[in-house]
Amino acid sequence: MNIPPAKAPRQKRVSLAVLLLIILLGWWVFFVYQRPVPAPTAPTAVPIPVTARGDLAADEQSTIALFRSASPAVVYITNIEVRRNIFSLNIHEIPKGTGSGFIWDKQGRIVTNYHVIESASRVEVTLADRSTWQATLVGVAPDKDLAVLQISAPTGKLAPLPLGESHNLLVGQKVFAIGNPFGLDQSLTSGIVSALGREIQSATGRTIQGVIQTDAAINPGNSGGPLLDSAGRLIGVNTAIYSPSGGSAGIGFAVPVDVVAKVIPEIIQHGRLIRPGLSISVADDQIARRVGVTGVLVMNIQPGSSAEAAGLRGTRRVRGEIVFGDVIVAVDGHKVFSYDDLRNALDHYKVGDTVTLTIEREERQMQLPVVLEEIG
């Protein structure tokens, strides 16, 4: 049976409707769905309130005030060495090293470590205001690792540090170091007194006693700079660090200000440290130990000296045999075991003082009063 021809137009209408729907869907996808969505508007920034600097803690404000007060007294020292070129034989100057120092008085005297300026051909001192001055050497005390320089800066540029005391320091009190570690000038570090009564060796090998130990960061370049208490007073001169790596390991040492206050005026007046002594020569400590001597074995006595007048005996030869001289075992009751001990003991006195030496002579002990004399 044949389909009536009247239904063909209806199928055609359905096809047109489907085609129109596809066209509308494609238009919507292309023009509407893929249209970029505008970015959301950023919220208005709210300003963060600024807190006034006056809200710093009291100890911070105290440290800031200490640095502002003390730092103008700290100087940068350059050790300049003269060398000859091995090819042209021309002489030229090169920086040998740098260190720190501080202004001692209004006359332009600068205190630093002896090892900072040792063997220098010329020394330059740079003040906190960046002005540089050529320095002349006033004098040195190598045994104490101290030296004094002189610059001709105007008085207005010179701000000396106030002196404190070191004999009454306490382990645990705050300390501050200002210097030029690794050439970084005007650097401040802080810490505490870690220990007291330490001993270190000077450039001459002589023991420096009563040294202050601190954990304030002290690095190469800090040498000669001041160690201060919380009131900004000088309590020591930074002189050495203990460090396997060469940097700060939290163990630094400073020559106590009580020693500095005694030595510096003598250097200024005499160009050197006036040392009281006995005008004797003694046996090397190793030799003395080798022959069984515990103490300081006297070898020779200067003729006409107070030691000779006191009856002190030196080592001598009698009928071809060596007879040992007196062995000093104590000074005013304080035992000594080496020549270094003896010199350190006599450092507590001055020229003209009388001390009582305890000596061993022919297997018996006796006391001899001796007047101390100036020695070189």
Same domain for 366 and 286, yes or no, is yes
Same domain for 369 and 311, yes or no, is yes
Q: Mapping DSSP to helix (H, G, I), strand (E, B) and coil, where does residue 352 land?
A: coil
Write down the pLDDT at residue 146: 95
Same domain for 302 and 370, yes or no, is yes
Same domain for 269 and 280, yes or no, is no
In a domain, 16, yes or no: no
In a domain, 306, yes or no: yes
In a domain, 336, yes or no: yes
Same domain for 185 and 241, yes or no, is yes
Same domain for 203 and 131, yes or no, is no
Write down the pLDDT at residue 1: 42
Write down the pLDDT at residue 220: 84
In a domain, 28, yes or no: no
Write down the pLDDT at residue 304: 92
Same domain for 190 and 205, yes or no, is yes
Choose one of 157, 186, 210: the last residue of a domain. Answer: 157
Q: What tokens were used for 35? A: 């249209």
Same domain for 371 and 283, yes or no, is yes
Residue whose structure tokens are 């005008």: 279
Same domain for 299 and 358, yes or no, is yes
Same domain for 255 and 281, yes or no, is no
Write down the pLDDT at residue 31: 58
Q: Which residues are catalytic?
A: 115, 145, 223
In a domain, 355, yes or no: yes
Range of the domain at 223: 174-273
Write down the pLDDT at residue 107: 95
Residue whose structure tokens are 């163990």: 251
Write down the pLDDT at residue 287: 86
**Ranges of the chain with pLDDT below 70:** 1-15, 17-19, 26-54, 82-96, 242-249, 376
Q: Domain total for the chain?
A: 3
Contact 66, 228 (CB under 8 A): yes
Choose one of 132, 157, 182: the last residue of a domain. Answer: 157
CATH number assigned to the domain comprising residue 260? 2.40.10.10
In a domain, 143, yes or no: yes
Choose one of 204, 239, 273: the last residue of a domain. Answer: 273
CATH number assigned to the domain comprising residue 341? 2.30.42.10
Q: Where are the beta strands (DSSP E) in 242-279?
A: 252-256, 275-277
Q: Residue 180: which of 253, 77, 31, 273 has the closest Cα?
A: 77
Q: Dihedral (C-alpha) 203, 140, 211, 97: value to the nearest 10 degrees?
A: -60
Same domain for 86 and 117, yes or no, is yes
Q: How many residues does the chain have?
A: 376
In a domain, 119, yes or no: yes
Same domain for 283 and 321, yes or no, is yes
In a domain, 27, yes or no: no
Contact 180, 76 (CB under 8 A): yes
Write down the pLDDT at residue 78: 92
Write down the pLDDT at residue 29: 58
Write down the pLDDT at residue 94: 44
What is the rounded CA–CA span in Å between residue 261 and residue 223?
18
